[in-house]
Amino acid sequence: MSYGATTPEDPSSSIGETEPNPTIRKDRSLGWLKRLGPVLATHRKRLLLSVAAAIIAMVVQILVPRVVGLAIDQGLSERNKSLWPFVAVLIALAVARGVFTFAYRYGLYGMAFKVENQLRNLLFEHLGRLSFSFFDRVQSGQIISRANSDIRSVQMFLAFAPIMAVQFMSFIIAILLMSAISLPLTAITMVALPAVFIVGQRLRKIMFPLSWIVQSRQAEVATVVDENINGIRVVKAFAAERHQINSLGVAAVKLRWANLFQHYARAAHTPFIENLPRVALALVLLIGGRQVIDGTLTIGDLISFNLYIILLQAPFRFIGMLLILGQRAKASAARMYEILDESPSVTDSPGAIDLPSGNGLIRFDNVSFTYGTETIGDSAGSTSSPPILHEFNLVLQPGSITAIVGRTGTGKSTVSRLLMRFYDVESGQITIDGSDVRSLTQSSLRNRVGLVSDEPFLFSTTIKENIAYGMPEATSTEIEEAARAAQAHDFICDLKSGYNTVVGERGYDLSGGQRQRIAIARLFLMKPQILIFDDATSSIDVAVEEAIHKNLLTLLKGRTTIIIAHRLSTIALADSVVLIDNGAVVAKGTHSDLMETVPLYAQTLASGDADKKPTAAKTQAIFSEDGGL
């Protein structure tokens, strides 16, 4: 047996494996186990060997009552044989059962945990392929629940179901052996089976919806916890700890109710399933005892028969457990398949090409776009939200620096998201050097277009690795140069471990300005052809911002740049300014021209959406310092 090793498999041996992960069948009309077939097929040999070991262990167990019966009849009652041969056989059977029990349990549990690992990797890989629209409408707690507790439910069923199936095989073999001893007593034993079947069917029908509800309630609890942790600064800022506790309490009460109802159903049905066979045991003792007195049945046969009935109780106990595990796994698999069946709304088209070399000419031609409001599992979805962009037209010349200004909600950030193809336009097209972005591979597009957002995300790893995230092969010198250009080197060196400092979750142990400077350093390192700054210096001190801008001018030279502007100092970097309103371009020109000729532009700047209300002197100082626009 390949599963008789005394030590577990070395987990490091699987690190770095590159063989493709099998996927599930896409046919939704198939049962959940059939859909899982391709994944299970990769463990066919292990499963077959484990089941074979389980069958041998089961056969060995079934032989024990018969050996005991013969020992009683021939060794004790008739006293014509020594008991030592029977003792030796029983010891051999015990050793064999121990070996084969270890083999099948190690094999089945190992298979189940490997399937769990495959499903988790499969789900994670699929999440990486899904588009932004999916994450806009699905709570993170729902995803976490499906990736953890739901997959664990499937794993538990796969580990126990084969063992229980073998137990039912033992039931059939035991019935045959019992029939060889006494057909009338066997018939009495079978009296309870119809009632057990009826109760089991009723339990199965009840458990599936209850299992679905329990898993959904667990996801709600996970969502509350996830939001509370991620939003802990907001919670504490508003002294809303009690409110969050109450929210968790409500979700926990719902989960408690679902769990209690599920266990109530189990408690109401399982005793019947487990105890009905004991009624048969009592009848066998009564009738079989009279047969022994009458001399039509030996004492050894009666004891063997009773031992078989005791063995039969194990499968009956497993019926309830199998039904519960099966229905829970079915509900969990359905929830997991909801994600795996989700198709990304943004994909590489057939024949997609890498973005050809060019000079960075960008065109938005009659672009319209609306954020959807679908829910998970809803294939049809809906788009009842108001349009964000409507017949949006804009041309960005190669090497130009364009600031986009507008009130909140007018679609400024949407422009950058559509350009990077985080979403696809509903109508119109966006082209880079004449190539429609939908005809390009997403990887080549995003390698050529760099984005720094107003809320940069840092991973819980070292600062060095965060800066080099887009270029893992970058040298320490290149990383330091990028950090210097982003005015991040000094504060990084002040940290205890410098560039090897591990930042906390999302980088929240750093200030907002420090996070933004690391994100800008990440962009400096990559030096993409097209740059997008979405309010990228909003949290940075003015003095630091000026130093960054000086380095930015070097980086921006010869690169087409879009600046989503909220500060006048940032607008000052631009060659031209675009004003958008109601999802369309309403004006384009220099800052000075727009201030003089477009009242809406001045109102937008004065409203506080772009910056604090500027004074004329401040505005003039900013723009005259850079030579004016």
Average pLDDT, rounded, for the chain: 79
Distance CA(235)–CA(228), nearest Å, equals 7
Q: pLDDT tier at 316 (50, 70, 90 boundaries)?
A: low
pLDDT-wise least confident of 325-334, 432-441, 602-611 = 602-611
Residue 336 or 278, more confident: 336
Predicted TM-score (pTM) of this structure: 0.69
Section 111-138 average pLDDT: 87
State the CATH class of domain 32-129+136-340. Answer: mainly alpha
Q: pLDDT tier at 617 (50, 70, 90 boundaries)?
A: very low
Checking if the pLDDT of 260 tops 80, the result is: yes
Tokens representing 150 are 């739901």
What's the pLDDT score for residue 7? 45
Q: What residue type is assigned to position 472 of the chain?
A: P
Give the containing element (helix H, strand E) for 392: strand 389-396
Burial of 222-244, coded b for 16+ CB within 10 Å and e otherwise, reads: bbbbbbbeeeeeebeeeeeeeeb
Section 352-358 average pLDDT: 88
Distance CA(247)–CA(268), nearest Å, equals 32
Give the containing element (helix H, strand E) for 434: none
Distance CA(281)–CA(330), nearest Å, equals 34
Section 425-444 average pLDDT: 92
What's the pLDDT score for residue 519? 86
Section 285-301 average pLDDT: 80
Distance CA(1)–CA(49), nearest Å, equals 8
Which residues of 77-132 form beta strands (DSSP E)? none
What's the pLDDT score for residue 252? 82
Tell me if 256 sits within 8 A of 236, measured CB to CB. no
Number of Cβ within 10 Å of residue 89's Cβ equals 15
Q: Which residues, other chains included, contact 253 with Cβ-Cβ below 8 Å and sequence gap of 6+?
A: none
Tell me if 151 sits within 8 A of 332, measured CB to CB. yes
Give tens-digit pLDDT for 195-233: 776 776 677 677 767 777 877 787 777 777 776 766 665
> What percent of the chain is modeled with pLDDT above 90?
15
What's the pLDDT score for residue 362? 93
Q: What share of the chain is helix, strand, coil (3-state, %, to 5)?
A: 60, 10, 30
The crossing angle, in degrees rounded to 10, of helices 299-340 and 84-129 is 10
Give tens-digit pLDDT for 501-535: 888 777 777 877 788 888 888 888 888 889 888 87
Distance CA(189)–CA(308), nearest Å, equals 10
Q: What residue type is assigned to position 319 of the chain?
A: I
pLDDT-wise least confident of 283-287, 479-483, 499-503, 552-556 = 552-556
Checking if the pLDDT of 625 tops 60, the result is: no
Instruction: Delimit the domains of the chain by residue range.
Output: 32-129+136-340, 399-625
Distance CA(277)–CA(288), nearest Å, equals 16
Tokens representing 130 are 């899904």
What's the pLDDT score for residue 202? 76
Section 390-397 average pLDDT: 92
CA 132 to chain centre: 15
Q: pLDDT tier at 296 (50, 70, 90 boundaries)?
A: confident
Tell me if 401 sits within 8 A of 574, measured CB to CB. yes
Residue 579 or 232, more confident: 579
Q: 3-class DSSP state for residue 163?
A: helix
CATH topology of domain 399-625: Rossmann fold (3.40.50)
Q: Which residues, other chains included, contact 325 with Cβ-Cβ below 8 Å and sequence gap of 6+?
A: 153, 156, 157, 160, 161
What's the pLDDT score for residue 437? 93
Give tens-digit pLDDT for 468-496: 988 888 899 999 998 988 888 988 998 88
Tokens representing 89 are 């056989």
Section 55-61 average pLDDT: 87
Expressed in angstroms, the distance from the first to the final Cα of the chain is 79
In DSSP terms, 531 is beta-bridged to: 450, 561
What's the pLDDT score for residue 95? 93
Angle at 288 between CA 283 and CA 292, to 5 degrees: 155
Burial of 393-429, coded b for 16+ CB within 10 Å and e otherwise, reads: ebebeebbbbbbbbbeebbbbbbbbbbbbbbebeebe
Distance CA(533)–CA(337), nearest Å, equals 38
Checking if the pLDDT of 70 tops 60, the result is: yes
What's the pLDDT score for residue 143? 83
**Phi/psi of residue 395, nearest 5 degrees:** -120, 125
Q: pLDDT tier at 440 (50, 70, 90 boundaries)?
A: very high
Number of Cβ within 10 Å of residue 553's Cβ equals 12
Section 449-461 average pLDDT: 82
